[in-house]
Structure 1
Amino acid sequence: MLEITGLVAGYDRTTVLHGVSLTVPEDGVATVLGHNGAGKSTLLRAALGLIRPRGGRVLLGGEDVTRLPAHQRVRRGMAYVPQGQQSFPQLTAMENLRLIADGRRDGRAALEEALALFPALREAASRRAGLLSGGQRQQLAIARALITRPRLLLLDEPTEGIQPSVVAEIQRTILQLSARGGLSVLLVEQHIGFALRAAQRYHVLEAGRVTGSGEGGEAAEPAVRRALSV
């Protein structure tokens, strides 16, 4: 679904990504692991087109989207959930969801599907998003992205600062979505166990370079921890 080859990107005069290459399988999950400052978030932003690359290529479903702006990549099926459990805090959970669903031909059905994936949001539908727990806000952010019915979902550290029970629920949701087909996921994560259980393939990013790749699963954890010197 996604093929990144020799990607070079950064901010102003600072280069953050130095020739990064990786793939996300069709209807599968790939994870990018690395320490703070490794370039993980920059990688997602460059993949979506929020940062213009200085070199390399980004292919979505075989189409070269390297020079396309972010909104055109979204139209082609990308969705992005950044760090920080972002929402409109003064709106209710339901209003946040309807803001995305309204005006879409299949918006109502997509909204109901999102609520089915995250039942806690239905229970908290009338609460302001700013008053939700961190886990609920993260589920809300993912649900909003899913309402757009993406082909590729980019998730930036969805487990950051949330309780273990919600981490497990988000993991189950990611696996459920990839198993039913029609959605690929690029997951940036520091929680090694969660990331490897959710992914078919992993990539280790260090100082803007891929230093290791392999098949996901719990069996890969020792090799990943050695690569990260954790």
Structure 2
Amino acid sequence: MMLELCDVHVGYGPAVVVHGVDLTVPDGGLTAVLGHNGAGKTTLLRAAVGLLRPVRGSVWFDGDDITRLPAHRRVRRGLAYVPQGQQSFADLTAGENLRLVADGRRDGRGRLAQALDLFPALMPLLDRRAGLLSGGQRQQLAIARALITGPRVLVLDEPTEGIQPSVVAEIEHAVLELTGAGLSVLLVEQHVGFAVTAALEFAVLESGRVTATGAGGAGAADEVRAAMAI
């Protein structure tokens, strides 16, 4: 497994939000974490990428215990995180946002070109300030920036939330291309359809606890909806 969370308990100060979660992300596959708002999904991801330290349990990356490794060193190992909110440097152009990550990296320019191949809609927007892009365009930009780091595992937190349907389809297509090319993906989503269909494995989180797990695929959607009571 590329990424493993073992009996992870994590929260904020004395308040534990996630309780005893076990989760795996296979090499070259997608694991989907689903649940309603407040279920603890983002907290779990923040523990995976090193922004929160578990009070109990461990995080493993490609066989190594990285529980105490800071976030920036996890990035160097190949763990990339795209949080909610289509984050970018609003006063920089889209191109400057991308070059900021690419400059100084081995084959950074080549990775930048590959990211633009994956999101061709960004090409005519490279000279536009990121703050003037639509939410969907900023989300594509955020994912492209993460890909330039050359990740082995890409962690996506609600990448389609609040995005126009046409861009949602482009992002979903890009995720499928990435997993098809062998990238491991940990995807948090509220929307069941695409996430479960694309996943090799899924987990449903409720009140910080895993309430259902299983193999992904189109046939699993009804199982997940039943677990989420939707």
The TM-score range, normalised by the shorter chain, is: over 0.9
Q: Does 1:106 align with 2:101?
A: no
Question: Which deviates the most, 22-31 or 195-204?
Answer: 195-204
| 1:25 CA displacement | 0.7
Residue identity in the other structure for 1:189: E
Deviations along 1:8-57, one digit per CA (max 9) or x if unpaired, are 10001100010000111100100000000100000000011110110111
Task: Decide whether the 8 Å contact of 2:197 with 2:221 is kept in 1.
Answer: no
Q: Tell me the number of residue pairs that the alignment of Structure 1 and Structure 2 aligns.
A: 229
Letter of the aligned partner of 1:144 in structure 2?
R
Give 1:123 deviation, angstroms. 1.4
Q: Counterpart of 2:207?
A: 207
Distance in 1 (alpha carbons) for counterparts of 2:197 and 2:20: 27
TM-score normalized by the length of structure 1: 0.98
Mapping 1:50-65, distance limit 5 Å: 50-65=51-66
TM-score of the aligned structures, taking structure 2 as reference length: 0.98
| Code of the aligned partner of 1:70 | A
Q: Give yes or no for the alignment of 1:219 onto 2:213.
A: no
Match of 1:187 in 2: 187
Instruction: Tell whether the 8 Å contact from 2:201 to 2:216 is kept in structure 1 after alignment.
Output: yes
1:168 offset after TM fit, Å? 1.2
Flag as ranges the 4+ runs of structure 1 deviating above 3 A. none
Provide the identity percentage. Answer: 67
Distance 1:163 1:201 in 2: 27
Read off the aligned partner of 1:47 and give its amino acid letter.
Answer: A
Q: CA deviation at 1:198?
A: 2.1
Q: Which residue of 2 aligns with 1:84?
A: 85
What amino acid is the match of 1:53? P
State the 1:197 CA deviation: 2.3
SS in 2 for 1:41: helix
Query: Which consecutive unaligned segments of at least 5 residues does structure 2 have?
Result: none
2:152 counterpart residue number = 151
> Does 144-153 or 210-219 show the bigger shift?
210-219
Q: Deviations over 1:164-211 (max 9, x none)?
A: 111111111111111112x20000000111211221111000111111
Map of 2:20 onto structure 1? 19
CA contact under 8 A between 2:197 and 2:220: conserved in structure 1? Answer: no
Aligned counterpart, 1:39: 40
* Alpha-carbon separation, structure 2, partners of 1:169 and 1:62: 33
Partner of 1:116: 117
Q: CA deviation at 1:219?
A: 0.8
Q: Which amino acid aligns with 2:140?
A: Q
Q: 2: distance between equivalents of 1:222 and 1:38? A: 19
What SS does structure 2 have at the residue aligned with 1:104?
coil
CA distance in 1, matches of 2:122, 2:198: 22
